[in-house]
Amino acid sequence: MAIQIYDQTVPVFLRMMSNLDGLLAKAEADAEARNIDPQVFLQDRLAPDMLPFTRQVQIATDQVKGGLSRLAGLEAPKWPDEEKTFAELHARIDKATQYAEAFEPSQFDGAETRSIELKFPNATLTFNGKEYLLNFVLPNLYFHITTAYLILRHNGVQIGKRDFIGG
């Protein structure tokens, strides 16, 4: 039996949102234990031209809601990027999790061939659903979660590979 789009999205996204939420929890506990202002972690970035930790989490959750929506032929919900605290980021991850949990396999029937167009200020990208998932959504999801992970590691938070990929 072939792997379906649902199998490649919802379970993967749920696991990664859970793991990302766990990374946040460890960062919170670490900041408290070492008496570090949480904003040090939330606003840190790996390089001056990279986005800060908070934005990495926002974009990772955007991949969940946008990816699932487009693959199911739906308009992606709009979520303002206003999170400034760990609690608000936990809530955003929870919202992405709940959004993913609401999808049924049948919503992705024909998704692999669905035409998906992304418009950016300087370019328009066009994919079929399979290409969109494998060459855009999943790489972006993992990139932004990895970057968030690396920002925390860079700041001395005791996390490891198991925290990233889950148990």
Report the percentage of the chain scoring pLDDT > 70.
Answer: 99
Give me 65's structure tokens: 């809601």
| pLDDT tens, residue by residue, 125-155 | 999 999 999 999 999 999 999 999 999 999 9
DSSP state of 47: S
Averaged pLDDT of the chain: 96
pLDDT at 11: 97
pLDDT at 2: 72
Closest by CA to 54, choosing from 17, 26, 82, is 82
Is 80 exceeded by the pLDDT of residue 7?
A: yes
Domains in the chain, start-ordered, CATH in brackets?
5-165 (1.20.120.450)
Q: For residues 92 and 58, is the Cβ–Cβ distance under 8 A?
A: yes
pLDDT at 22: 98
Mean pLDDT of 28-53: 97
Give SS3 for 41. helix
| pLDDT tens, residue by residue, 59-110 | 999 999 999 999 999 999 999 999 999 999 999 999 999 999 999 999 999 9
State which amino acid sits at residue 91: A
pLDDT at 167: 76
Rounded CA gap, 137 and 11, in Å? 14
Is 70 exceeded by the pLDDT of residue 114?
A: yes
Rounded CA gap, 113 and 111, in Å? 5
**Residue 152 phi/psi, 5° resolution?**
-65, -45
Closest by CA to 129, choosing from 35, 66, 41, 86, is 66
Report pTM: 0.96
Is 90 exceeded by the pLDDT of residue 1?
A: no
Rounded CA gap, 40 and 31, in Å? 9
Give me 45's structure tokens: 């970035």
Reported as a pLDDT band with limits 50, 70 and 90, residue 38 is: very high
Is 90 exceeded by the pLDDT of residue 3?
A: no
Rounded CA gap, 116 and 137, in Å? 12
